[in-house]
Amino acid sequence: MLSMAMKYLELSKYLKNMSKQVLLLNFDQSPINIITVKKAYKLIAKNKVYVDFDSEEFHEVKLVKETIKIPKILILKYYIKLPQKKIAPSRKNIFHRDSYCCQYCGMDLCDRTATVDHVIPRSKGGGSTWTNLTTSCKDCNLYKGNRTPKEAKMELRNKPKEPKYGFFIESMMIAFKRTKNA
């Protein structure tokens, strides 16, 4: 039952330094969200989650009379069906999806050097959608210009796709790691 939770313990290492945040897992142990300790406390009080007090991963919250332990990972006792979460194909989200890698030449990029390319140019009817936006270095973007990859004889390393749910949590982790290493 806890095997998948163990996998997310790995994630919780990154949570350690985030002030008082708890990873909430669905009944099937897929991540739902990162919640505050306060929300976590409410879920525990309402007996809606499994807690593992043997875990060394917990927050200590000092109350007037006592110190309570809030585990860094909670698992819901029931399954909640999540609405199909739509994540906006923002600049940052596109870069995260493509791991900050130019999808034409493979160069490693950062916020400063990465650009968003419309695979089918806007002038040719290409939309600003997950499936038409890709990460490109400035040189490739400039070279490609107002052409389709075929016209420019450029090949995409990955076909742009809409990311699956879970990406949101992952990108939060990536953003966190980035700020930590900055």
Q: Is 140 in the site for Zn ion (CB under 5 A)?
A: yes
| Residue 54 C-beta: closest distance to Zn ion, Å | 49
Residue 119 as a binder of Zn ion (CB under 5 A): the answer is no
106 or 166: CB nearest Zn ion? 106
95 part of the interface to Zn ion, by CB under 5 A:
no
Give the separation between CA 157 and CA 108, rounded to whole angstroms. 13
Nearest to 22 by CA among 38, 46, 4: 38
Is 180 in contact with 153 (CB distance < 8 Å)? no
Q: Which of 26, 25, 20, 55 is nearest to 41 (CA)?
A: 20
Distance from first CA to last CA of the chain, Å, rounded? 37
102 near Zn ion (CB under 5 A):
yes
**Interface with Zn ion (CB under 5 A), residue from 105, 142, 156, 175:** 105
CB of 129 to Zn ion, least distance (A): 21
Please give the C-alpha separations between residue 51 and each of 2, 140, 170, in angstroms, as whole numbers: 11, 50, 23
109 binds Zn ion (CB under 5 A): no
Choose among 179, 54, 56: nearest CA to 111. 179
Task: Give the residue with the Cβ less far from Zn ion, 37 or 114.
Answer: 114
Would you say 52 or 139 has its CB closer to Zn ion?
139
Binding span for Zn ion by CB under 5 A among 14-22, 41-49, 73-81, 137-145: 137-145
Is residue 73 a contact point for Zn ion (CB under 5 A)? no
CA 54 from chain centre, in angstroms, equals 28
Nearer to Zn ion, 100 or 104 (CB): 104
Q: Rule CB under 5 A: which residues touch Zn ion?
A: 102, 104-105, 107, 137, 140
